[in-house]
Amino acid sequence: MQKEGISTRVVHGGHAKNAENSLSTPIYQTSTFIFDSAEQGGRRFAGQESGYIYTRLGNPTTSQLEERIALLEGGESCTAFSSGMGAISATMLSLLSCGDRLVADKTLYGCTFSLFTETLPRFGVKVELVDMSDLDAFQAAMTPDTTAVYFETIANPNMKVIDISAVSECAHRIAPNCSVVIDNTFASPLLVRPLSLGADVVVHSATKYLNGHGDVIAGFSVSDKERMERIRMVGLKDITGAVLGPQEAFLIIRGLKTLKIRMDAICANAMKVARFLESCPYVDAVYYPGLESSPCHEVAAKEMRQFGGMISFEMHSFDEAKSTLNHVRLCSLAVSLGDAETLIQHPASMTHSTYSREEIEAAGFTDRLIRLSVGLEDPEDIIADLTQAFEAACGK
Ligand code: LCS
């Protein structure tokens, strides 16, 4: 299947023949699987015979989804989780031990940030945060004993794009055994495939574009077979137990079938909304990698197929930002992203409330920042809604 086009892969990738020849994937809503004999049960636990044992260790609905995601990201193996944070914590807790060193970008989703700055240090992991869009600063932060490097392809919430090839090359040159882990949630494998650019592990919140319908919380980790065995058998099985349910796996398989057309439409809408915001007097600055004015445009154009559906923008004051959020009608005032509906939120007080004021500044955003997840509505309607909200919030 690897040679098939991306539109084919989102529909058919990893498609085993289904039981009873059903077209859509059956939901194996079961916690456990019956062994033919005590000997068979023993062989399966000993890894001497393949086959299902217990849904925390694997389930046929989820396996089909995992194969499809591995194909989409171009990795050997994938493990599904019950949330993006489940995927991230299981991955990092499998790769890191007490005394190890993690170098991560300064701009991260709020809960990843608190995992790295509060939880991992409690277990003796040394964490250094750096602005990875500055390659010299990254190189200075890297040491030969660094175990893992972590960043987001399009950073939440200010849409910073980091040069995946350059950072991966530098990381492996200085610390050949380190794992470069990339959160590809905002871009999705439709826009960029970090493993093909030198990264070692990709994590996802599948709650977002991969599922795409705002009705599931899920996550993935994708890598080579050896790393994935550790992540599945330690991070998932023993540490977090954050297993994805078969019903959710089915919904993501369904959502994935339209990933390509959803992303195409969302990226086209986002470009129009970003251009509108750039020309809007109520807006102080727009962050969207597709705009030529973005400092990340060159790197994004080099590494990404399209520029995504996420835009953030600064208003002139905190009060105007808050009031804009209170006046939207079509856009939904909600966190999360990647859905059919356009979602709008305030990172400093919502998704990134885990950051202190100083950390917000260091990460490169302010409390005047609004984040928009552009949806599938007519772009003219999104723009009309933002226009009326700006006028109500800031005066005509
Ligand atoms: N990675 C990124 C880049 C995220 O934005 C999120 C959630 C996660 C991981 C965690 O995924 P979850 O456990 O929620 O599936 N981001 C959110 C956001 O920006 N708004 O609401 C949740």
pLDDT on residue 364: 87
Q: How far, in Å, CA of 369 to CA of 285, rounded?
A: 9
Does the annotation mark 105 as catalytic?
no
Ligand 1 mean position, distance from CA 332 (Å) = 17
Question: Among candidates 108, 75, 87, which has minimal Cα distance to 200?
Answer: 75
Specify the pTM: 0.97
> Is 183 one of the annotated active-site residues of the chain?
yes
User: What pLDDT, on a 0 to 100 scale, did the predictor assign at position 1?
Assistant: 43
The rounded percent of the chain whose pLDDT value lies above 90 is 94
pLDDT band at 396 (very low <50, low <70, confident <90, very high): confident
Query: In the annotation, is 208 catalytic?
Result: yes
Maximum Cα interatomic distance, the chain, rounded to a whole number of Å: 77
DSSP 3-state of 297? helix
Give the 3-state DSSP-derived string for 80-124, with helices as H, strands as E and coil as C: EECCHHHHHHHHHHHHCCCCCEEEEECCCCHHHHHHHHHHHHHCC
Choose the catalytic residue: 68, 100, 106, 109: 109
Give the residue among 199, 246, 223 at the shortest CA–CA distance from 91.
223
pLDDT tens by residue, 24-48? 999 999 999 999 999 999 999 999 9
Rounded distance between C-alpha atoms, residue 328 and residue 332, angstroms? 7
Mutate which of 150, 207, 350, 365 for ligand 1 pocket (most atoms within 8 A of beta carbon):
207
Compute the distance between CA of residue 158 and CA of residue 149 in angstroms, rounded to an integer. Answer: 20
| Ligand 1 and 240: CB distance under 6 A | no
Contact 152 CB / ligand 1 (< 6 Å): yes
- In order of 35, 251, 255, 334, the CA distances from 261 in angstroms are 42, 17, 11, 24
Active site residue 126: no
Whether the Cβ atoms of residue 84 and residue 185 lie closer than 8 Å to each other: yes
Indicate whether residue 351 lines ligand 1 (CB < 6 A): yes
Report percent pLDDT > 70 for the chain: 99
Q: Mean pLDDT across the stretch 113-136?
A: 97
pLDDT tens digits, 206-242: 999 999 999 999 999 999 999 999 999 999 999 999 9
Is residue 156 within 6 Å of ligand 1 at its C-beta? yes
Q: Label residue 4 by pLDDT band (50, 70, 90).
A: confident
